[in-house]
Amino acid sequence: MKPAIRAILIWAVLGGAIAVPMAVAMTSPLLAWRDPIYIGAGVAGVVALALILVQPLLAGGYLPGLPLRRGRHVHRWTGSLLVAAVVAHVAGLWLTSPPDVIDALLFTSPTPFSAWGVVAMWALFAAALLAGLRWPLRIRPRFWRLGHSALVAVVVLGSVAHAMLVEGTMGTASKAVLCVLALMATAKALIDLRAWVLVRRLRS
């Protein structure tokens, strides 16, 4: 396949995988019975799930036009965006129904998906914190690689379980496709980068 066609295909699949569930969520009948803050909280959750698919693609340098070095650069920015999206998601839900969010954060919620979401959230914060402190604290490459990889694996698994169990605004089919792609992209990136190898051998 010609590189140009391949590039267009990859971007088109990624765009579709994100745009379709987003469109379904934005046209959900449930929105008619939600106030703007609750709607915003839901959208922030969908954006976060979309970014969870984008992150491993950037980290692995799989996106045409964004090879490893440039991909990693964008990965840091989208990572910050992902943290912001999750904060907006939780904050919006908190404003909508404080006791439900407190239950979730304390792991006393009646809904099983809450715990998955909260575990994924803390793992995400830890992964981002590790990335932010990597250079200031001169964290050793072997610890950084293993730590960040293990944490993001928890983020992806927790988020997928969270999203699939929620009866929300996203369509089941488009949500499932987005989740499967996120799992596949994460697995490919971790395998390709040999995330479990303690010494960093990759030069980009």
3-class DSSP string for the chain: CCHHHHHHHHHHHHHHHHHHHHHHHHCCHHHHHCCHHHHHHHHHHHHHHHHHHHHHHHHCCCCCCCCHHHHHHHHHHHHHHHHHHHHHHHHHHHHHCHHHHHHHHCCCCCCHHHHHHHHHHHHHHHHHHHHHHCCCCCCCHHHHHHHHHHHHHHHHHHHHHHHHHCCCCCCHHHHHHHHHHHHHHHHHHHHHCCCCCCCCCCCC
Q: Is 30 in the site for other proteins (CB under 8 A)?
A: yes
Q: Is 110 in the site for other proteins (CB under 8 A)?
A: yes
Query: If binding means CB under 8 A, how many residues of this protein chain bind other proteins?
Result: 22
Quick one: which of 15, 23, 35, 173 contacts other proteins (CB under 8 A)?
Answer: 35
Quick one: which of 72, 76, 88, 103 contacts other proteins (CB under 8 A)?
Answer: 103
Q: Give the shortest CB-6-to-other proteins separation in angstroms.
A: 39
24 neighbors 170 (Cβ within 8 angstroms): yes
Give 34 or 194: the residue with its C-beta nearer to other proteins. Answer: 34
Q: Is 96 in the site for other proteins (CB under 8 A)?
A: yes
Quick one: which of 3, 65, 99, 136 contacts other proteins (CB under 8 A)?
Answer: 99
- AA identity, residue 191: I
- Provide the mask over 41-80, with x wherever binding to other proteins is found by CB under 8 A and - wherever it is not: ----------------------------------------
Give 30 or 198: the residue with its C-beta nearer to other proteins. Answer: 30
Quick one: which of 126, 165, 176, 177 contacts other proteins (CB under 8 A)?
Answer: 165
Binding site for other proteins (CB under 8 A): 30, 32-35, 38, 93, 96-97, 99-100, 103, 108-111, 113-114, 165-168
